């Protein structure tokens, strides 16, 4: 009886240890996957900020060009009105 109990306990312990190792391996696998996804998200965030900065600069340049054209047009009308 003692031998059978021992074998039964040994088998359960061995199975439990194997399950434990499997769960640890799966946890590590998913932690690595999550870390990889977090890294990808950080890269994408950086790219979005870069694009946003470029769009902002482009918009400011357009505004400057529009302002220059407006001032040039005013100068032309003012100058033309004074000479005419």
Q: What is the pLDDT of residues 35-46, one digit of tens each?
A: 999 999 999 999
Sign of dihedral through CA atoms 8, 13, 19, 21?
negative
Q: What is the pLDDT of residues 44-73, one digit of tens each?
A: 999 999 999 999 999 999 999 988 888 777
Give the Cα separation of 32 and 24 in Å (integer). 12
First to last CA, the chain: 122
Per this entry, what is the length of the chain? 84
Q: How far is CA 21 from CA 13, 15, 39, 52, in A?
A: 12, 10, 27, 46
**DSSP letter assigned to residue 48:** H
């Amino acid at each position: 009886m003692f031998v059978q109990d021992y074998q039964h306990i040994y088998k359960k312990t061995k199975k439990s240890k194997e399950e434990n190792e499997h769960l640890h391996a799966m946890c590590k696998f998913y932690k690595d996957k999550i870390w990889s996804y977090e890294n990808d998200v950080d890269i994408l965030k950086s790219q979005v900020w870069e694009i946003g900065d470029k769009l902002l600069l482009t918009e400011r340049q357009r505004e400057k060009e529009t302002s220059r054209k407006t001032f040039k047009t005013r100068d032309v009308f003012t100058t033309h009105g004074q000479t005419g």
